Amino acid sequence: MSVKVLVVDDSAFMRSFLIKYIDTDPRLEVVGTAANGKEAIERVKALQPDVISLDIEMPGMNGLDVLRTLMREHPVPVIMLSSLTSDGASETIESLQIGAVDFIHKPSSTFILDIHRIMGELNNKLYAASAVKPKRLSPPRTRVQANAPVGFAQRLSSVDRMQRQVKRLLAIGTSTGGPQALTALLSDLEAGWDCPVLVVQHMPPQFTASLAARLNKISPMPVVEAVDQELLQNGKVYIAPGDYHMTVERASDGYRIALHQQAERSGHRPSVDELFASLAPLEELQRYLVLLTGMGKDGAEEMLRARRSGQATTIAEARESCIIYGMPRAAIEAGGAEHVVPLGEMAEFLTGCMRR
């Protein structure tokens, strides 16, 4: 049976364009369209689609408003169609945090030579998303960060932070569903972590800065997009920039981030495997490798190698909490995950590990 798709876009041309391409995929069937937000909500209730393609930029009730309403009243898997503007990137990250499964760049004349790849990507994502059971998510909490007089780490000055010796590292890899998972995990972590946190999220270049900015609003630790040769600091979260591998190197003054654009690894740049591999030689550090929700198997190879060699504590998100049980599953089935932990228990589990 084909997956039922609802197409939501205020442009008649774009609706026609999307129907044409989606219906070429035998796995998918467009069962209806909507030209505005109010109509979209009515069509969802009437047609009961398996998945929705939803434009972010619509007059009146825009895509974010529609998504919030759906996640509150009638959760359904959603793939967002996003522009490449800075505003579009910020809104896209917000949509992923509040319930959208994934996104693609909205096709335009700029992409005419690449249109088949883009639409193929949309069809694949619609099909994959149709299996997701979206949850009614509470809005992320806004947390007071390190400049407020709350807690040990928050009393430390920036100079104090830089002078504290890095003795352990937490590295996290994620893909589809990652913004939701990272929002949940980072908002649950407590300030005062004596550890830098490095995150590889599969995402294009225009979006990782927006991801860092939005996560920074909910995390008790500062969250930044990583910069080449940046000195790692305890209690800080570093997001790999889109289209750059992020690795860690020893330096005379501690440990520094190294960014490069060598070939994709495991089909990705940034690659989780590339980050995990760079931590292998740092035997003097306690290392914790985590794989969260995502399609594919990036991270599984190096997680297995790390566990076999005793390089690190290896942790995969449990199936019941994953939006897409791909990357964690690959690691678990290969034998690379020493621990399997649901997302809601991950912060407590990691805190316990750090205190041992």
What CATH number is associated with residue 19? Answer: 3.40.50.2300
Within-domain flag for 136: no
pLDDT, tens only, 95-150 = 999 999 999 987 665 555 567 778 888 999 999 999 998 876 555 454 544 443 33
Residues 124 and 164 in one domain: no
What is the rounded CA–CA span in Å between residue 316 and residue 335? 11
Residues 120 and 184 in one domain: no
Q: Residue 148 has what pLDDT? A: 37
DSSP letter at 99 equals T
Q: Residue 135 has what pLDDT? A: 73
How many domains does the chain fold into? 2
Cα angle 30, 36, 42 (rounded to 5 degrees) comes to 70
Residues 106 and 157 in one domain: no
Selecting among 53, 82, 202, 278, the annotated active-site residue is 202
Selecting among 95, 175, 271, 321, the annotated active-site residue is 175
Q: Given CA atoms 76, 77, 81, 84 in this order, what sign does their dihedral have?
A: positive
What is the rounded CA–CA span in Å between residue 112 and residue 115? 5
Domain range enclosing 41: 3-129
Within-domain flag for 143: no
Residue 299 exposed, middle or buried by CB count within 10 Å (0-12, 13-18, 19+): buried
What Å distances lie between residue 127 and 5, 22, 53, 131, 337, CA to CA? 9, 10, 11, 7, 28
Dihedral angle computed from the Cα positions of residues 80, 81, 85 and 91, in that order, rounded to the nearest 10 degrees: -20
Residue 260 catalytic? no
What Å distances lie between residue 330 and 9, 170, 174, 202, 288, CA to CA? 36, 20, 12, 16, 18
Within-domain flag for 139: no
pLDDT, tens only, 231-245 = 999 999 999 999 999
What is the C-alpha radius of gyration for the chain, rounded to an integer number of angstroms?
A: 21
Within-domain flag for 274: yes
pLDDT, tens only, 40-98 = 999 999 999 999 999 998 988 999 999 999 999 999 999 999 876 666 789 999 999 99
- C-beta of residue 243 within 8 angstroms of C-beta of residue 201: no
Percent of the chain with pLDDT over 90: 76
Residues 168 and 44 in one domain: no
Residues 329 and 192 in one domain: yes
Within-domain flag for 142: no
Q: Residue 136 has what pLDDT? A: 61
Q: Given CA atoms 202, 326, 272, 195 in this order, what sign does their dihedral have?
A: positive
Query: Which amino acid, one-letter code, is at 14?
Result: M
CATH number of the domain to which 160 belongs: 3.40.50.180
Residues 20 and 75 in one domain: yes
Residues 157 and 74 in one domain: no
Residues 47 and 10 in one domain: yes
Tokens of 3: 């997956």
Within-domain flag for 141: no
Strands in 237-239's sheet, in edge-to-edge order, are: 223-225, 237-239, 197-201, 168-174, 286-291, 313-317, 339-341
Residues 110 and 158 in one domain: no
Residue 50 catalytic? no
Mean pLDDT of 339-352: 95
Residues 206 and 265 in one domain: yes
Residues 156 and 124 in one domain: no
Write the DSSP assignment of 105-164 as a string of letters: EPP-GGGGGGHHHHHHHHHHHHHHHTT-----PPPPPP---TTSS-SHHHHS-HHHHHHS
Within-domain flag for 140: no
Give the up-direction half-sphere exposure of residue 50: CA atoms within 13 A in the CB hemisphere.
Answer: 18
Selecting among 55, 278, 298, 321, the annotated active-site residue is 298
Residue 271 exposed, middle or buried by CB count within 10 Å (0-12, 13-18, 19+): buried
Give the model's confidence band at 177: pLDDT under 50 very low, under 70 low, under 90 confident, else very high: very high
What Å distances lie between residue 119 and 79, 108, 124, CA to CA? 12, 11, 9
Within-domain flag for 44: yes
Residue 65 catalytic? no
Residues 117 and 49 in one domain: yes
